[in-house]
Amino acid sequence: MANTNSSIISGVADPVSMANVGQSGGRMRVAADTFEIAANPSAADTLTLCRLPSGARIYSIKLFCDDMDTGGTELAIDLGLVETDGTGGDPDCFVDGATDILTAVQTAGAEVRFDHSTFGVESINKQVFELAGKTADDGKQMDLLLTFTIDANTFPGAGASLSFLVTYVID
């Protein structure tokens, strides 16, 4: 196998030049919270997880949950980026109708940043505005929105918890 450098190395011909700080040396940020789901979510119910700067680079989105579809495999979600008023963007750019993410206990966290075939691993350095389908950065923040598309076959009842952990760089 030939020796190959990452773009962080090969893009810096002059030792004084620096790589893009968003790719090497950026300030990592975290958004995390928990929702208590009191009743079986219906199709079109939403959870707005967090708000992200349009120029941020998302490196990880993990979902953690209790068993939200006991004995079933019906619960389905979309996960994507939308404008803060709920319009525009791409509401299923990360997860598109997945039925296996929240149907069982997720204590280790289900990594969903690269779950949808729209964004393969080569999209790792794309910024939020690009992931949302925009052609230019308009400087507007975007919401990370989880939408239930099919309710649970057997919802376990009040007290089901859903947590998320989003790791991103703002430089």
Residue-level pLDDT at 101: 87
First-to-last CA distance in the chain? 34
- Average pLDDT of the segment spanning 120-138: 91
- Quote the tokens at residue 68: 């939200």
With beta carbons less than 8 A apart as the criterion, state whether 155 and 68 touch.
Answer: yes
Q: Which helix (H) or strand (E) holds 10?
A: helix 7-10
pLDDT of residue 141: 96
Residue 50 has pLDDT above 70, yes or no: yes
Q: What is the rounded average pLDDT of the residues 105-116?
A: 88
Per-residue pLDDT at 25 exceeds 70:
no
Structure tokens at 26: 């950026």
Domains and CATH numbers, the chain: 26-169 (2.60.120)
Work out the angle at residue 21's Cα, subtended by the Cα atoms of residues 80 and 134, and round it to the nearest 5 degrees: 30
Residue 120: is its pLDDT beyond 70? yes
| Mean pLDDT calculated for residue range 101-121 | 84
pLDDT score at 103: 86
Beta bridge partners of 14: none
- What is the percentage of the chain residues whose pLDDT exceeds 90? 51
Q: How many CB atoms lie within 10 A of CB 133?
A: 13
